Structure 1
Amino acid sequence: MAAEAGHYDPQAVSPQQTADVARWRKAERNRLRAERLALPVAIRQSAGEALAGHLRELIRNRFSGANGCVISFYWPIKGEPDLRLLMAEMHAQGAAIALPIVETKAAPLVFRLWTPETQLVRGDWNIPVPPPNSPELIPGIVLTPLVGWAAGGFRLGYGGGYFDRTLAAMSPRPYSIGIGLESAQLPSIFPQPHDILLEAILTEAGERYAKEGA
């Protein structure tokens, strides 16, 4: 890498450093995704159950429970922690549950209502999503799946920039919670100017980051 993890200024880098970061991030994404998919199913299930418990506690403590909240979950792919049972639970508790959808390439995500009765259709990357006639929502809480993460609220995603682009465009900005595995922690993601800090990061080990004053 062209810069050390603790001494990287995203506002003062050369084009070569930017290219180095892009190559490094691609390699780390591939490595972390392969490691996640190689985990036994039972380990992934256990991590998902632990994460659901930590998320339940965070929402109870910060928002006095799910009732009345508009929460964007995600449909798990590629070994991501599975929180679908918690989606149904919080729907039953009075939360409005949304799922993010890529409706326009290189544009902010759209959030549409999900209920246990919703007939999902195949969206971008073949991910199940609510149909176009499902009501659009503006979430106050957004869960963002993590390929990797670093202290300070930094997220390494899949590289499309959709969550960064979406969070940057939303005003007021929702409370964003990164959901990932403890083993996916990195010393740094070598942050770039477009990277949006998360308000919190949860892993199966618990709350690993919470933004002060958020």
Structure 2
Amino acid sequence: MNADDELPGRYASPPCLASELAPDYFDPLAVDPQQARDVARWRRSERTRLRGERDAISIDARQRADETIANEVRDVLADRFAGARWQVLSAYWPMRGEPDLRALMTELEVSGVTVALPVVETMARPLIFRRWTPTTQMVRGVWKIPIPSDEAETVTPTIVLAPLVGWDSEGYRLGYGGGYFDRTLASLAPRPFAIGVGYRASRLKTIYPQPHDIPFDIVLTEAGREVVREVPSASRPIA
């Protein structure tokens, strides 16, 4: 990263504005369009509530939780992917109190994992992924989230690590409302192994999944492995 483009602060990015793009969005494939609208409004309200609660977590509590979550990610990668060496893992740059796993990103990259970050190249289209290393030049992307510059190699992940605003016992993720992760997971074949990370307090009874929602394979919090789904072997990346 260039010194002139230093990204200050523990959580350098402003809040994601994906949900503000289409707050009344509904899936036209849903059986009942009015129900889909009701779910969209409910989700918007829950995002606001959960983000407020997450922002209120103390720095010390957050750091302890993040260390535990990082250990859980290490264990999953060891158990399922022999450490994920030679795999392509998409991580994320934390914003607004999301679990900060940047130290783990560096550790994995040094160990031989190809680490990538998601990039919104075209609005309302699947994400692309650019390779990241500790020395990668970073620039501001959509919503000013730091991303690798366009000089970075574009890669396809076999494992996706994504933050959760909320989550339920079926592994469905409440994100920021833009639909980018669902759209991206649906577009990749074979589908990457999806790991959601968040805090235990963000658990919901249900997110009222709609036809476009794709459940994550594992959900990890500071309390451990909250959700572990069995996925068809053809959908799993080769370890």
TM-score range, shorter chain: over 0.9
Q: Which residue of 2 aligns with 1:3?
A: none
Partner of 1:77: 95
Q: Distance in 2 between matches of 1:213 and 1:44?
A: 31
With the length of structure 2 as denominator, give the TM-score of the two structures: 0.83
- State yes or no: 1:207 paired with 2:225: yes
Count of residues in correspondence between the two structures: 205
Deviation at 1:13, TM superposition (A): 4.3
- Equivalence for 1:5: none
Residue 199 of structure 2 is aligned to residue 181 of structure 1: yes
- Paired AA for residue 77 in structure 1: M
CA-CA distance at 1:66 after TM superposition = 2.8
Whole-angstrom distance in 2 between the partners of 1:25 and 1:50: 28
Q: Distance in 1 between matches of 2:111 and 2:79?
A: 15
Match runs of 1:1-214 below 5 Å:
13-213=31-231
Aligned-residue Cα RMSD (Å) equals 1.3
**TM-aligned CA deviation for residue 16 of structure 1:** 2.0
Question: How far, CA to CA, are the matches of 1:150 and 1:212 in structure 2?
Answer: 16
Unaligned 5+ runs, structure 1:
1-10
Give CA-to-partner distance per residue, 1:158-207, whole Å, 9 cap, x none.
Answer: 00000000000000100000111100000000010000111111111111
C-alpha distance in 1 between matches for 2:96 and 2:217: 24
For structure 2, list consecutive stretches of 5 or more residues without a partner in the other structure.
1-28, 233-239
After superposition, the Cα gap between the structure-2 partners of 1:165 and 1:12, relative to the gap in structure 1 and judged at 3 Å, is: closer
Which AA in structure 2 matches 1:186?
A: L
What are the superposed Cα offsets for residues 69-121 of structure 1, whole Å, 9 maximum, x if unpaired? 11000000010000000000001100000000001000000100000001100
Residue 43 of structure 1: CA displacement?
Answer: 1.1
Contact 2:30 2:36 in 1 (8 A): no
Q: Secondary structure at the match of 1:171?
A: coil
2:24 matched to which residue of 1?
none
Give how far 1:67 is off: 1.4
Report the secondary structure of 1:44's partner residue: helix
Distance 2:45 2:231 in 1: 34
- Provide the rounded CA distance (Å) in 2 between the counterparts of 1:90 and 1:12: 40
Aligned residue for 1:65, secondary structure, equals helix
Distance 1:67 1:16 in 2: 46
Distance in 1 (CA, whole Å) between partners of 2:108 and 2:173 is: 25
Do 2:30 and 2:210's aligned partners in 1 also have CA atoms closer than 8 Å? Answer: no
CA drift at 1:208: 0.7
Tell me which amino acid in the other structure corresponds to 2:60.
A
Instruction: Assess if the C-alpha contact under 8 Å between 1:66 and 1:93 holds in 2.
Output: no
CA contact (8 A) 1:51 1:204 kept: yes
Please state how far the C-alpha of 1:12 moved relative to its aligned partner.
6.8
TM-score by length of 1: 0.93
Residue identity opposite 2:153 in structure 1: P
- Contact preservation (8 Å) 1:48, 1:83: yes
